[in-house]
Amino acid sequence: MSHYSATLSQPVKDLVKVRRALLSVSDKNGLKELCVFLNKIGCQLVATSSTYKAIIDFGLPCLTVDSITKFPEILGGRVKTLHPKIFGGILAREYLESDLADMKEHEIEIFDLVVCNLYPFQEVLNKGVESEELVENIDIGGVSLLRAAAKNHASISILTDVKDYKSLVENIVENNGSVSLALRRQLAIKALRETASYDELIAASLESSFKVENCLTHKIGPVRAENVKAIDSLPENICLSLNKIQSLRYGENPHQQAAFYRLSDMQAHDVCSLVNMKCFHGKELSYNNMLDIEHIIRLASDLKDKCAAIILKHNTPCGVGISDISISDAYSLAFESDPVSPFGGIVCLTKKVTVELAKKLYETFLEVVIAPEFDNEALQLLQKKKNLRLATYDSLLPLSNKTIFTHVQGGFLAQSANDIVIDKSKVTYPTLLKPNEEIFAALEFGMTVVKHVRSNAIVLANAKQTLSIAGGFTNRVDAVHNCLNKNRLSLDNAILASDAFFPFADSIDIIHKYGIKHIVQPGGSVQDAEVIKACDKYGISMLFTGSRHFKH
Ligand SMILES: NC(=O)c1ncn([C@@H]2O[C@H](COP(=O)(O)O)[C@@H](O)[C@H]2O)c1NC=O
């Protein structure tokens, strides 16, 4: 039987005997068992300094890299394996006469296995060290070893993850001392992914530690300047490096698999996010809980200076309250807004949970309660609910202002964060009547909430609470109707906020019928004049913010 695969134009060995291995590992876990096995099958071991010492300490024979290269490790370990006698032995193609001639001339011996894991950059980064120490932990030779061995996987195996040692050993046993092509391919791909993710982690962490903008990579595409809202500072190429930190029970529905991945450069302490949220009681967070938490945190962040309570269900806020009295009062205001929807919802508070609030929370079936802190007595009560998830966040500041990605088939859409509610420099008052200070506060609050409701969105509110929230409508008239129709609370000082402009005056007619006297909306419709005329006719004050808040 031929040792080469007949299906490829370039001959690739189906099985490769493991006769000589190069070992260079920072993580020495599992090294002993692996080396004992390799020694038993007659494989010669060659290793870099501390790996060599560990192998000798195991009582196994081993050669140093220096004894092969006849060149010492230099620059404090910056150059260890970077030598033709090492890389020639990894990259040589045994089926090429010219390669074999080179090997003979320069007395280079072939390696069949590379075992290498890299300097622990992530661990060092997590310690928050100075950038000099960080730079010293950028692995050079190890990355080159992985890349070289992966390139020549036709002839060589590459181990980079301790978890794969067992699979290699089993494969060698199964194949009488050789490694199969299928496993070599899998290991090569894994090694290339490892170097890509390692390099992305380094680039992203240096970028943030040096506070470098993406100025070198940005290019303005074939877009006419007058069509560009702001110069696009999003990079030309992005490499997302993600680590799986949790397998989830299921996805949006029980028949969907799910997991939580975090950005590898996401430091535990730098921003308020799901990654550093501490869920300390109750069932594990589900996929839907996580989506809801992500959403509620964004709204809470816009209300971080207030004493605010938010109740959210299926990614949509159903009640929001703010109070000068207490966080418990804020929750009552939020709950009053819609007493039906909170069942099975999640709650986020911007202040410590008191026992008074805990008693109210206890009365309703809730999935998650998130707050900066819980009073001890409040905790004792809430922890009686076995399944209720309780979570804390360190601070609502800062939210990550990095690019937001949305997955689409075949790619990702990227946009900068929507980090404004009302840009005061853009505000105009186009109607005859102008809002007073209290009404302005209600308009601002209504706009803050409507920004986080799926479009088309309408919010009815006063300065302390939402009265009714309507979102996800395909036309604004239905959204207005639904919002006003379901409200059961007093309309004293009520305002209506719209996430985008009113394209026609028809919505204003409905708003007038319900007796609403104040509107806030972005403005910018070609029919603005008609809409303003209708407001003036009905004695309605209207504020244009100039900032649209579509949410898809
Ligand atoms: N510079 C080199 O030639 C080099 N060759 C291998 N390494 C790394 O050195 C580490 C192992 O070194 P030691 O056996 O001395 O602990 C491994 O993580 C390996 O990825 C190197 N170090 C960093 O680049």
- The candidate with the shortest Cα–Cα distance to 549, out of 461, 455, 451, 446, is 451
What is the tens place of the pLDDT at every residue in 182-210? Answer: 999 999 999 999 999 899 888 888 877 77
| Least confident span in 3-17, 216-230, 333-347 | 216-230
Question: In one letter, which amino acid is 136?
Answer: E
Mean pLDDT for 525-551 is 97
| Least confident span in 4-18, 123-137, 461-475 | 4-18
Domain that holds residue 478: 437-544
**Does the beta carbon of 191 lie inside 6 Å of ligand 1?**
no
Q: Which atom of ligand 1 is nearest to the CA of 49?
A: 15
Do 498 and 360 belong to one domain? no
Domain boundary among 161, 187, 210: 210
Calpha distance 450→469 (Å, rounded): 8
Residue whose Cα lies nearest atom 5 of ligand 1: it is: 141
pLDDT of residue 331: 98
Do 383 and 443 belong to one domain? no
Q: b vs e for 15-35, b when ≥16 Cβ sit within 10 Å of the residue's Cβ?
A: bbbbbbbbbbbbebebbeebb
**Does the beta carbon of 81 lie inside 6 Å of ligand 1?**
yes
Compute how many other C-beta atoms are within 10 angstroms of the C-beta atom of residue 196. 13
Residue whose Cα lies nearest atom 19 of ligand 1: it is: 142
Do 442 and 382 belong to one domain? no
User: Bridge-partner residues for 468, per DSSP?
Assistant: 460
**Does the beta carbon of 139 lie inside 6 Å of ligand 1?**
yes
Do 111 and 197 belong to one domain? yes
Give the helix/strand (H/E) hosting 208. Answer: helix 181-209
**Does the beta carbon of 79 lie inside 6 Å of ligand 1?**
yes
Half-sphere exposure of 289 (CA within 13 A, CB side): 25
**549 catalytic, yes or no?**
no
Q: Does residue 228 belong to any structural domain of this protein?
A: no
Q: For residue 139, how far is its CA from the centre of ligand 1 (angstroms)?
A: 7
Do 64 and 178 belong to one domain? yes
Best mutation site among 50, 81, 90, 146 for ligand 1 pocket (most ligand atoms within 8 Å of CB)? 81
**Residue 70, token pair as written in the block:** 């006849």
Domain boundary among 210, 236, 251: 210
What is the tens place of the pLDDT at every residue in 139-156? Answer: 999 999 999 999 999 999
Catalytic hit among 314, 352, 512, 533: 314
Q: Does residue 311 belong to any structural domain of this protein?
A: yes
Task: Check which CATH number belongs to the domain holding 298 and give it.
Answer: 3.40.140.20
**Residue 35, token pair as written in the block:** 């080396």
Per-residue pLDDT band for 218 (boundaries 50, 70, 90) equals: very low
**151 catalytic, yes or no?**
yes
Do 25 and 91 belong to one domain? yes
Do 297 and 177 belong to one domain? no
pLDDT of residue 228: 44
Phi-psi region of 458 (alpha: psi -120 to 50; beta: other; left: phi over 0): beta
In eight-state DSSP terms, residue 409 is T
Mean pLDDT for 515-540 is 97
Catalytic hit among 151, 352, 359, 533: 151
Q: Does residue 260 belong to any structural domain of this protein?
A: no
Do 500 and 372 belong to one domain? no
Domain boundary among 392, 427, 462: 392
Q: Does residue 417 belong to any structural domain of this protein?
A: no
Do 364 and 487 belong to one domain? no
Do 387 and 443 belong to one domain? no
pTM: 0.77
Calpha distance 494→439 (Å, rounded): 8
Do 185 and 283 belong to one domain? no
Count of domains observed in the chain: 3
| DSSP strands (E only) in 365-456 | 366-371, 389-392, 404-408, 411-415
What is the tens place of the pLDDT at every residue in 246-291? Answer: 999 999 999 999 999 988 766 655 566 787 788 999 999 999 999 9
Q: Does residue 237 belong to any structural domain of this protein?
A: no
pLDDT of residue 475: 96
**Does the beta carbon of 292 lie inside 6 Å of ligand 1?**
no
Q: Which atom of ligand 1 is nearest to the CA of 140?
A: 24
Calpha distance 125→55 (Å, rounded): 28
**Does the beta carbon of 64 lie inside 6 Å of ligand 1?**
no
Mean pLDDT for 496-513 is 97
Best mutation site among 56, 57, 80 for ligand 1 pocket (most ligand atoms within 8 Å of CB)? 80
